[in-house]
């Protein structure tokens, strides 16, 4: 389990970007849920932690595709692939992450970067 931050340090409506590889975004929704997904949009290189959260959906800050924070499903173009979700554990007021071992759906540009190449 990876410790993220104290729950008290992540106000409702805010997101925290964890600099793992690839990075993970942890959201505290307005309804008080804490949910985690891959931070990089599946369309292009945008950080979903910078996005617009409404209910349990985040709208990509660039081209407005919306991802469900619970399932990772994408509702509309331009993104066409779901984003990977991660399990969140709350213990003694601290947020922990259990990283998914499913393959991520990274956009072409981010894949090139992670691989050390420069497309």
Partner 1 sequence: MKAVAVVGASLAGLSAARSLRQLGYDGRLLIIGAEPHRPYDRPPLSKEFLAGDIDEAALTLEADGEDLGAEWLLGTAAVGLDRRERTIRLGDGRTVRTDGVVLATGAGARTLPECESLAGVHVLRTLEDARALREDLARGGRLVVIGGGFIGAEVAATAHGLGLEVTVVEAAPTPLAGPLGQTMGQVVCELHADHGVRLLCGVGVQGISGGRRVDEVLLADGRRLPADTVVVGVGARPCVEWLAGSGVALRDGVECDAYGATSVPGVVAVGDCAAWYDPTAGCHRRVEHWTGARERPAVAVTTLLHGGAAAPQLPKPPYFWSDQYGLRIQFAGHAAGAESVTVEEGAVADRSFLAVYRRAGRPVAVLALNQTRLFTRWRRRLATALPAACSS
- Cβ atoms of residues 103 and 58 within 8 Å: no
**What is the footprint of partner 1 within residues 43-82 (CB under 8 A)?**
46-47, 49-52, 61-64, 76-78, 80
Q: What percent of the chain is helix, strand and coil (3-state, nearest 5)? A: 10, 35, 55
Contact 18, 27 (CB under 8 A): no
The binder of 41, among partner 1, ligand FES, none, by C-beta within 5 to 8 A per type, is ligand FES
Q: Which neighbouring-strand residues pair with 86?
A: 36
Residue in the structure block whose two tokens are 């964890």: 18
Place of tokens 């990274």: 106
CB atoms within 10 A of CB 116: 6
Mark 3-42 with x for binding to partner 1 (rule: CB under 8 A) and - for no binding.
Answer: ----------------------------------------
Nearer to ligand FES, 35 or 46 (CB): 46
Q: Does 24 bind ligand FES (CB under 6 A)?
A: no
Which positions touch ligand FES (CB under 6 A)?
41, 43-44, 46, 60, 62-63, 65, 78-79
Which positions touch partner 1 (CB under 8 A)?
46-47, 49-52, 61-64, 76-78, 80, 108-109, 119
């Amino acid at each position: 389990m990876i410790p993220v931050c104290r729950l008290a340090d992540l106000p409702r409506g805010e997101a925290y970007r964890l600099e793992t590889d690839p990075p993970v975004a942890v959201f505290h929704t307005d309804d008080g849920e804490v949910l985690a997904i891959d931070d990089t949009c599946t369309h292009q290189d945008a950080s979903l932690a910078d996005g617009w959260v409404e209910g349990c959906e985040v709208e990509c800050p660039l081209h407005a595709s919306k991802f469900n924070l619970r399932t990772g499903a994408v509702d509309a173009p331009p993104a066409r692939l779901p984003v990977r979700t991660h399990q969140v554990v709350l213990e003694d007021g601290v947020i922990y992450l259990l990283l998914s071992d499913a393959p991520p759906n990274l956009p072409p540009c981010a894949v090139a970067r992670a691989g050390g190449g420069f497309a």
